[in-house]
Amino acid sequence: MTRRKKLFAAAIALPIAVAVGVGLKVRRAASDTLGADACDKDLAAVFELCEAGGEICEKPPEGQEEACQAGCVMARCPNHVACTELDPIWCKPCEDEEGALFWSLQIEAERVCEPLKPTVNTFETLKAYYDCQIEEPERRCPALKDKPKWYLPPDRRQ
């Protein structure tokens, strides 16, 4: 093979290899969930994952979207958030639904109660799952027990 043919072959092969490599990386990135090191390497991606309307904070009550997002980030990256005067959402007590800790407890309860999530909906399986969703946050935040129907959206508590 002459030098000219080798250069021509390399000129064609290199862009094809790069395109295939980039395509595989994009495809893999779209299907991957955030890795364990996302908190250290890409905290912005965690905030994006936790945005209201997304998979985790799908439909928070009106006005609580930011608190849900903060709670999601707190649940995923507890060592990367702190109570500061700059943003009081991180400082509110666990029973305050406008605080990150309240929502973090809800998200953690979903994780803990996941094994009880019914595959067949019967009264007993649904009751066990929803009881877990209430009992787990109350175990971690006893102040919730004193708050009537805290687990319902504000507009449904009457």
- What is the model's pLDDT at position 34? 67
What is the average pLDDT across 15-23? Answer: 37
What is the average pLDDT across 14-27? Answer: 36
Instruction: Check if the beta carbon of residue 78 is closer than 8 Å to that of residue 109.
Output: no
Coil, strand or helix at 158: coil
What is the average pLDDT across 68-81? Answer: 93
Listed range (37-41, 67-71, 89-93, 128-132) with the worst mean pLDDT: 37-41
C-alpha–C-alpha distance, residues 50 and 68, integer Å: 8
Question: DSSP character for 55?
Answer: S
What is the average pLDDT across 8-21? Answer: 38
For residue range 31-61, what is the model confidence (pLDDT) as tens digits? 346 666 789 889 999 999 999 998 899 999 9
C-alpha–C-alpha distance, residues 84 and 58, integer Å: 27
Q: For tokens 């919730």, name the residue.
A: 144
Comparing C-alpha atoms, which of 73, 14, 71, 65 is closest to residue 42?
Answer: 73
Structure tokens at 45: 């991606």
Structure tokens at 23: 């395509």
pLDDT confidence band for 22 (50 / 70 / 90) = very low
For residue range 119-151, what is the model confidence (pLDDT) as tens digits? 989 999 999 999 999 999 999 999 999 999 999
Buried-exposed string 77-93: b where 16+ CB fall within 10 A, e elsewhere: beeebeeeeeeebbebe
Instruction: Check if the beta carbon of residue 132 is closer than 8 Å to that of residue 109.
Output: yes
pTM (predicted TM-score): 0.74
Phi, psi of 85 (to 5 degrees): -70, -15
pLDDT confidence band for 82 (50 / 70 / 90) = confident
